Amino acid sequence: MARTPFIAGNWKMHKTVAEAEDHIQAFLPRVYSADGVDVAICVPYTDLQAMVDSTRGSRVEVFAQNMHEAPHGAFTGEISAPMLSEIDVHGVVLGHSERRQYFNETDKALSQKMVTAFDAGLKPILCVGETEEERERGDTERKLRHQVQEGLERLTPEQIAAVTVAYEPIWAIGTGRVATPEQAQEAIAFVRALIEDKAPAAAPLARVLYGGSVTPDNAPELLALPDVDGALVGGASLDPENLARIVDAAAQLVAAAAS
Ligand code: 13P
């Protein structure tokens, strides 16, 4: 694997602080020796501080699931990038399809959010992916091109090198219908080519993850695909043992590549 694999669990709107503490206390010892794998949990705002405190000194980073594009302002109910970095949050998921679908997140706001995240020292995970209808119409590449170009539009080559893009086909999210290895590899290689168009030197460094019905059973095959640098895991990440088994799958590939 050319890049350090990255396994991120997106809890979505799950877990109170007490539930989050139970999860992390079971999870941390399980991933203690997963050398060569970057690991993150993407948690609700109310869990951030507790998870930052509980994971300090471990390999597990803590990400938020969204933020506003402005650093401050009259935006009732919103959270800014400086508010996240102040409490030592490491990164943020941006443009998840659920935010695009249910909360009218636009590509325009996202291109600003990417800049704002970097300005605050946060690592963004930019989510992209097509609907089932778009795939059936043959519009997958057009959708991905638009989303990736808008998301990266205002970044410097150095920032693009530090970006993580998560390819999450919407029809695979929460459905149990995981993309086939061919579909995942093809779309992710296309995303990497789009990154290369924008910043040739950065493309080999930027990470591209697969997300959508990843489980401990299908992770080994998906993670072994040449252009796949890790996984953004939803449902399976709610169980610490399942998330740890997906991290194990990545660690085993790293160990096999080194031997
Ligand atoms: P599932 O793993 O539940 O399909 O969710 C994927 C996802 O949306 C991660 O961000």
Q: Which atom of ligand 1 is nearest to the CA of 93?
A: 10
**Domain for residue 176, yes or no?**
yes
Residue 32 lies inside a defined structural domain of this protein = no
Side chain identity, residue 190: F
**Is residue 210 domain-resident?**
yes
pLDDT of 104: 94
Q: Decide: 8 in ligand 1 pocket, CB within 6 A.
A: no
Q: Is the dihedral of CA 10, 13, 14, 16 positive or negative?
A: positive
Q: Residue 52 is part of which domain span? A: 6-27+38-258
Helix (H, G, I), strand (E, B) or coil at 139: coil
Return the pLDDT at 1. Answer: 53
Look at residue 151 in the predicted model and tell me its pLDDT: 97
- Residue 106 is assigned to a structural domain of this protein: yes
- 194-197 contacts, C-beta under 8 A, 24 or more apart: 194/144, 194/145, 194/148, 194/149, 195/148, 195/152, 195/160, 195/163, 195/165
Q: For residues 199 and 228, give the distance between their C-alpha atoms in angstroms, rounded to a whole number.
A: 19
Tens digit of each residue's pLDDT, the chain (259 residues):
579 999 999 999 999 999 999 999 999 999 999 999 999 999 999 999 999 999 999 999 999 999 999 999 999 999 999 999 999 999 999 999 999 999 999 999 999 999 999 999 999 999 999 999 999 999 999 999 999 999 999 999 999 999 999 999 999 999 999 999 999 999 999 999 999 999 999 999 999 999 999 999 999 999 999 999 999 999 999 999 999 999 999 999 999 999 8
DSSP string across 195-223: HHHH-TTTTTTSEEEEESS--TTTHHHHH
Q: State in Å: Cα 212 to ligand 1 middle.
A: 5
Residue that the structure tokens 């991120």 belong to: 8
Any ligand 1 atom below 6 A from CB of 213:
yes
10 C-alpha to center of ligand 1: Å? 7
With respect to residue 1, please indicate whether it lies within any of the assigned structural domains.
Answer: no
DSSP lists the bridge partners of residue 92 as 64, 124
Q: What is the CATH number of the domain that holds 172?
A: 3.20.20.70
* Dihedral over Cα of 214, 164, 171, 235: its sign: positive
Residues with catalytic roles: 96, 168
165 CB near ligand 1 (under 6 Å): no
**Pairing relationship of beta strands 207-211 and 60-64 according to DSSP bridges:** unpaired
pLDDT the model gives residue 259: 86
Which one-letter DSSP state was computed for residue 39?
E
Evaluate: CB of 9 within 6 angstroms of ligand 1: no
Longest dimension (CA), the chain: 55
Using a 6 Å cutoff on CB, does residue 168 contact ligand 1? Answer: yes
Ligand 1 atom nearest to 212, measured from its CA = 4
Q: 74 CA distance to ligand 1 centroid (A)?
A: 32
* Backbone φ, ψ for residue 211 (5° rounding): -140, 145
Measured on CA atoms in the order 85, 89, 95, 101, is the torsion positive or negative?
negative
Q: How far apart are CA 6 and CA 207, in angstroms?
A: 8
Alpha-carbon distance of 256 to 259, in angstroms, equals: 5
Q: Residue 203 has what pLDDT?
A: 92
Asked if the structure places residue 33 within a domain, the reply is: no
Q: How many domains does the chain have?
A: 1
Q: Quote the pLDDT of residue 175.
A: 96
Which residue lies with its CA nearest to atom 1 of ligand 1? 234
Q: What pLDDT shows up at residue 41? A: 98
Any domain includes 244: yes
Within a domain: 80: yes
Closest approach atom of ligand 1 to CA 97: 8
